[in-house]
Each structure stands twice: as structure tokens, then as C-alpha cells.
């Protein structure tokens, strides 16, 4: 290979490497985005900026200290910088749960102490039943690819029976139409919102509180593979026994995931580099395919 050809190949490979590195950096940045929202009923249970909590341990949690928020709270990332995502919620109220113990960290103990309450139809003294709703908007500007949402549930400390909650999602236009938009939560008996999709159960155990161990389907559930710009979450208590069946959604996390394109780009980089190496030997004055 003469000097001119060597320089040309080196320049070409450098350009390819830079393009691939830039694309991979973008997908890595998406994966690094974490947003947490903590529902609490007292300032002592608000998470400080330095508190680390959640299934994906993170700091700079957003605190929702009101039973209802219909105007929207702009959420910060775990880095402390603002995102485009806003959250609204509607519930029967924020109530305390069993005091976490065991190996629960200080941050997780605050996170799991209070939550948005949902009440099952037929529970004594409650008519109509209510289901907490959380409405997220403007997700795509912060999460241009795929993201996951994790909901956390605690256990009430007043000897009431915890009911299993089915998590329902609505997206985009369906989310807007299914959002109650008023104080008190969703009150349509035992039927989920129109157009919703069931995402499975959250079935907390009774009377022990969060002990520091995350268990899917018990104290959290993660909904994966989401891409919608608007997302509505409804927690409908659909199971349980006894006079009272309630559930408290203590908080949530939104996490970005790396795009499949990052894997494809890595393969492309290898293929292009190999192609460049094939050009290293050629007869002078001819281009050999």
C-alpha cells in the first residue's frame, strides 16, 4: 500500500469510527436517564436530593406531597436537571403504610412509607370505589426511544386488608380521554378505563412492611418497552378479602433503555473496518473489488 492509499484508508476508518461512536453515545445517554417520583404525606417523608432510592438506585427524586395534582409537575432527572416530562395524578388521598424495616435503606424507607390510595368496590364505608391515576406527558422529548416504568406499592398500617391491584395503561390519545382530570381518583366501579391494557397484578403481603428486598409483583411492577408520548397508569384494586381492600402506590421510576440500534451499529463498525482492511493491498493504478 502506498502512502496516499494508506492515508485515505486511515481517514475513512476514522470518519466511520467517529460516526459510530456518536451514535452509540446517544443510545448510552438514553439508557442513563432515570426519573423518580415519590408520593408522601409529610415533609419528613419527602426525599432529599441526596437520598438514593428505588429499584434503579437514584438520587434527586421528585416529591409529590398532594393527594391530587391536576396542573402538572415538571419532573427532574436523577442528575438534578429538568426533563420535559410532566406528571399529574388523582387519588382518594395519600396515606401511610407500615414503617419499612429490615435492611431498607433510608431513601427506600421514605419512598415506601406513603402512597396514593386505591379502594376496591364493596369495601365498607366507601362508595364509590376509587382507583389512583398517574398521567405522564411529554415523554418523547426526554425518552426518544424506549423506556420502562416501575410502580411501587406499600402496605397500609391500620390493619386493613391489602387488595391485589391490576395495573392498566392507556397511551397517547387514549390516555388523554381516560384521564379523570378531577380530584378523588377514577370511580368507574370495577371496570378499567376504556381502551386500556392490563399490565398485571401488584399483590403486596400484609402486615410486614418493606424490608429492603424488591420483589416483582409484590412491592413493585415494571412495565417495559414503552414508547408513547403520553402514558396513563390506573391502579384498580381487583382482589382481596374482608371488609377493606386498599392499595397505596408509593412512587414510580421512569428509566430509559438502550436502543437495539446500538447493537446493529457495533456490527456495522466491525464490518466497515474489515472492509477497509481489504483495501490495504491492491495493484498500483487499479481498483480491485
Burial 135-156 (b: 16+ CB within 10 A, else e): bbbbbeebbebbbbbbbbbbbb
Asked if residue 145 and residue 67 are part of one domain, the reply reads yes
Residues, the chain, total? 289
Asked if residue 217 and residue 143 are part of one domain, the reply reads yes
* Helix axes 261-278 and 3-31, enclosed angle (nearest 10): 170
Asked if residue 139 and residue 268 are part of one domain, the reply reads no
Domain range enclosing 230: 35-258
Asked if residue 236 and residue 217 are part of one domain, the reply reads yes
pLDDT (mean) for 32-45: 89
Rounded distance, CA 236 to CA 200, Å? 11
- Omega within 30 of 0 (cis) for the link into 260: no
Half-sphere exposure of 10 (CA within 13 A, CB side): 7
Predicted confidence at residue 184, as pLDDT, reads: 86
Rounded distance, CA 244 to CA 154, Å? 16
Asked if residue 200 and residue 104 are part of one domain, the reply reads yes
Asked if residue 169 and residue 129 are part of one domain, the reply reads yes
Asked if residue 171 and residue 56 are part of one domain, the reply reads yes
Asked if residue 129 and residue 16 are part of one domain, the reply reads no
pLDDT band at 189 (very low <50, low <70, confident <90, very high): low
The reply to whether the predicted model has a pTM over 0.85 is no
Asked if residue 130 and residue 23 are part of one domain, the reply reads no
Rounded distance, CA 138 to CA 241, Å? 39
pLDDT (mean) for 169-194: 89
Enumerate the H helices of the chain as residue ranges.
3-31, 106-111, 172-178, 261-278
Nearest to 240 by CA among 147, 159, 164: 164
Structural domain count of the chain: 2
Rounded distance, CA 38 to CA 289, Å? 61
Asked if residue 161 and residue 186 are part of one domain, the reply reads yes
Taking only the tens place, the pLDDT of each residue in 108-145 is 988 988 888 877 766 555 666 788 899 999 999 999 99
Asked if residue 4 and residue 19 are part of one domain, the reply reads yes
Question: The C-alpha cell of 202 is what?
Answer: 401488584
Asked if residue 228 and residue 139 are part of one domain, the reply reads yes
Amino acid at each position: 500500500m502506498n502512502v496516499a492509499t494508506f492515508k485515505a484508508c486511515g481517514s475513512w476508518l476514522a470518519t466511520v469510527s467517529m460516526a459510530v461512536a456518536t451514535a452509540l453515545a446517544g443510545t448510552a445517554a438514553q439508557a442513563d436517564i432515570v426519573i423518580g417520583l415519590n408520593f408522601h404525606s409529610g415533609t419528613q417523608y419527602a426525599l432529599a436530593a441526596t437520598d438514593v432510592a428505588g429499584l434503579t438506585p437514584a438520587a434527586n427524586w421528585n416529591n409529590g406531597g398532594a393527594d391530587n395534582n391536576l396542573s402538572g409537575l415538571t419532573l427532574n432527572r436523577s442528575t438534578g436537571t429538568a426533563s420535559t416530562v410532566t406528571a399529574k395524578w388523582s387519588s382518594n388521598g395519600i396515606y401511610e403504610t407500615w414503617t419499612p424495616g429490615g435492611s431498607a435503606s433510608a431513601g427506600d424507607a421514605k419512598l415506601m412509607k406513603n402512597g396514593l390510595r386505591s379502594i376496591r368496590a364493596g369495601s365498607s364505608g366507601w362508595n364509590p370505589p376509587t382507583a389512583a391515576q398517574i398521567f405522564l406527558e411529554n415523554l418523547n422529548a426526554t425518552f426518544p426511544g424506549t423506556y420502562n416504568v416501575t410502580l411501587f406499592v406499600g402496605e397500609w398500617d391500620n390493619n386493613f386488608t391489602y387488595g391485589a391491584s391490576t395495573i392498566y395503561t392507556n397511551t397517547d390519545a387514549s390516555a388523554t380521554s381516560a384521564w379523570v382530570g378531577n380530584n378523588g381518583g377514577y370511580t368507574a366501579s370495577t371496570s378499567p378505563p376504556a381502551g386500556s391494557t392490563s399490565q398485571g397484578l401488584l399483590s403486596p403481603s400484609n402486615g410486614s412492611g418493606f424490608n429492603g428486598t424488591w420483589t416483582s409483583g409484590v412491592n413493585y411492577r415494571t412495565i417495559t418497552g414503552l414508547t408513547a408520548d403520553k402514558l396513563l397508569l390506573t391502579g384498580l384494586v381487583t382482589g382481596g378479602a374482608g371488609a377493606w381492600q386498599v392499595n397505596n402506590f408509593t412512587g414510580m421510576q421512569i428509566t430509559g433503555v438502550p436502543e437495539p440500534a446500538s447493537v446493529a451499529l457495533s456490527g456495522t463498525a466491525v464490518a466497515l473496518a474489515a472492509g477497509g482492511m481489504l483495501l490495504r493491498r491492491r495493484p498500483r493504478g487499479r481498483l480491485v473489488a
